Amino acid sequence: MSSSHGWRGQALCAQVDTGLFFPENGQGNLAKQAKRICAMCDVTMPCLNEALSDPSLIGIWGGTSEKDRYALRRQMNKVSA
């Protein structure tokens, strides 16, 4: 693990079943549970920043789904344009 990812050791998701953070279609309940865990996590922002900078990441990161991050990236691009 590189020093830039040192936050991962403090992430709450590392302490629970990781499958929760990779829900399949139709498993919205799992996504909601994962997002609740993210909301209590101390490293949500570095996690979200990583997920926003790497569109290839799947699952719940920083309290957002892939769809959520896509929308955030679009908003960020509009603001910076």
Per-residue pLDDT tens digits for 4-40: 568 999 999 999 998 999 998 888 899 999 999 999 9
Alpha helix ranges (H) inside the chain:
28-40, 44-53, 66-80
Of the pLDDT bands very low, low, confident and very high (cuts 50, 70, 90), residue 79 is confident
Compute CA distances 69 → 1, 4, 53, whole Å: 24, 21, 10
Contact by Cβ (8 Å): 63, 38? yes
Give the global pTM: 0.86
Closest alpha carbon to 65 in 77, 78, 52: 52
Single-letter residue type at 56: S
How many structural domains is the chain composed of? Answer: 1
Segments forming the whole domain that contains residue 28: 3-80
